[in-house]
Structure 1
Amino acid sequence: MVLARNALMESMDMKRFRIIAPLAVMSLALAACETTGPVGGNVPVVSRAPAGIEGSWVDPNGIVSSFNGGIFETRATDTNEKLAEGNYRYQSPQLVEIDMRSIVRGTSSKVNCALVSPTQLNCTSSSGSRFSLTRRAAG
């Protein structure tokens, strides 16, 4: 009886092994697979709006203001003449303070601007005048 029981146990162990072994091999094979992107460089390019206020902005009169690494400049579109210059610093990710000197008027002022969307900057000068700038398209 003991021999029959041992033979039965060995038979059950072999059945389990025949079922489990292929599953284990398949699991290892699948685990070794890696997923990669498309081959050949055909990866689509996603265009993102620049972060913060860096870049060029235009007012309703067509005057272009640029913000670059803490330096602020305003130029006439038709002549490229510099109209104002200064520095800017972030008060928060959406609020910027500009120290501006008007070359045309010979005056200095502070301007506070709020980035209300990736393409719109609403500004208020220290004298209380308000204006909006729209981000220029890259290119």
Structure 2
Amino acid sequence: MTLPVAACPLRLLDVLRGRPGHVLLLYATDVTDLVAAVEASRAAGAPLTTDGSPGSPGHRGSEGGPEIVAVLSREAAPAAAAGPVIPAYHDSAGEFARLYRPDDATGFVVRPDGQLGVRFPLAGTTAALAGYLAALSVPA
């Protein structure tokens, strides 16, 4: 994965480093799919607000919502990375798609331990996040 100003490619581990909580990872070719998924995540009760200040995109809210990171597919236009106001990486070599095999526009919740908590089509973001967050809040 690359950034517009990155000197060398990044791995998912590099992208997740420094993000101690849950991370909502959104993969798509079309930026409009990413924007819709961000809005849907808010509707699911996961306040997803990147500069680290409260209320900004990517900030983990006081409610404990996950941070958002976008991965644009190899086919996405490089200029598309500037679309959403969230950290956006370009899967320029296609490695993310090869390793994680997203089905077109796909969302992933990465748990704080680095494991995948849930995978879902971006069209089903609201239901998937609501179900995942509800499962996290069920007493053991």
TM-score, shorter chain, exceeding 0.5: no
TM-score by length of 1: 0.28
Q: Larger RCO: Structure 1 or Structure 2 (Cα < 8 Å, ≥ 6 residues apart)? A: 2
Higher Rg of the two aligned structures? 1
TM-score by length of 2: 0.28
Structure holding more strand per residue:
1
Structure holding more helix per residue:
2
